[in-house]
Structure 1
């Protein structure tokens, strides 16, 4: 899980390139709903789930890209509603903070000590990937930086 040796599993996107007939919501309405959900503090993955389940004006949106022609993150960037830190590294930082607080109380918990090491290694690899584009060029992961970033 924490190494690059094996492939990843997961669901595939539907094999279609057209928006379903029953989902005929205007692209502008979808974009305004996406921005509204982002302003409420939801991450892009949660926004996608809410659009799938709740929809816009009662009509579910199975795939934002098919309905609007843009990815959900592109819509957020166009409306300056995207987060400062990408969602994947943000959630890993939150996990590392929880693990470090747990380790402060339970120093003998070797399994979670290893989990913390793996999580922080993954954060550092992701930071290398994002550095310069979505993170500052001088960004270095430390526990203090993570706490400061997530407080914002």
Structure 2
């Protein structure tokens, strides 16, 4: 009866490969890319936004394939700490916006249910991050 578990979400999967794609011709060395990641993080960009900028403006499809480290690992190595994980932060922003909506429309029960689900998701993620030792804040 539970609709969420009956069907999967249809999407394409990224091919598993260790190194960079054969078609990739880079003008930058891996250390230059690392410095670029750090520079973008210091400007205030989130790790996912850094990945999008590297993909769209510099033609780097996946940082992990080119350098061998994820963006968050590069930032940790250079001493830049992300206080709240990005997924929790985005859920918190959604919950705040929904709470603001419910202040104006207190009888909107569908949105109230959505807020409960978002807050449950936040609690589950926080519990997970505490369990793995990556405390969110």
Whether the TM-score (by the shorter chain) exceeds 0.5 is yes
2:5 aligned with 1:5: yes
Alignment gaps of 5+ in structure 1 = 137-148
Provide the rounded CA distance (Å) in 2 between the counterparts of 1:124 and 1:112: 18
Specify the alignment match of 1:145 in structure 2: none
Contact 1:85 1:134 in 2 (8 A): no
Following superposition of structure 1 onto structure 2, how do residues 13-28 of structure 1 map, counting pairs within 5 Å?
13-19=14-20, 20=22, 21-28=24-31
2:63 & 2:46 partners in 1: Cα distance? 15
Aligned match of 1:42: 45
Compared CA separation, residues 11 and 85, structure 1 to 2 (3 A) = farther
Give the count of matched residue pairs: 131
User: What's the TM-score once normalised by structure 2's chain length?
Assistant: 0.84
Kindly report the root-mean-square deviation, in angstroms, between the aligned alpha carbons of the 2 structures: 2.1
**What residue is the counterpart of 1:119 in the other structure?**
118
The alpha-carbon distance between structure 1 residues 32 and 14, as it changes in their structure 2 partners (threshold 3 A), is: same
Q: Residue 16 and residue 135 in structure 1: after superposition, are their counterparts in 2 closer, same or farther (change >3 A)?
A: closer
Counterpart-to-counterpart distance in 2, 1:26 and 1:100: 46
Map 1:24-103 → 2, pairs under 5 A: 24-55=27-58, 60-103=59-102
Equivalence for 2:108: 109
1:135 to 2:135 alignment: yes
TM-score of the aligned structures, taking structure 1 as reference length: 0.77
1:15: how far off? 4.0
Task: Provide closer, same or farther for how the CA distance between residues 45 and 102 of structure 1 changes in structure 2, counting only shifts above 3 A.
Answer: same
Report the Cα offset of residue 67 of structure 1: 1.1
1:134–1:15 Cα change, 3 Å: closer
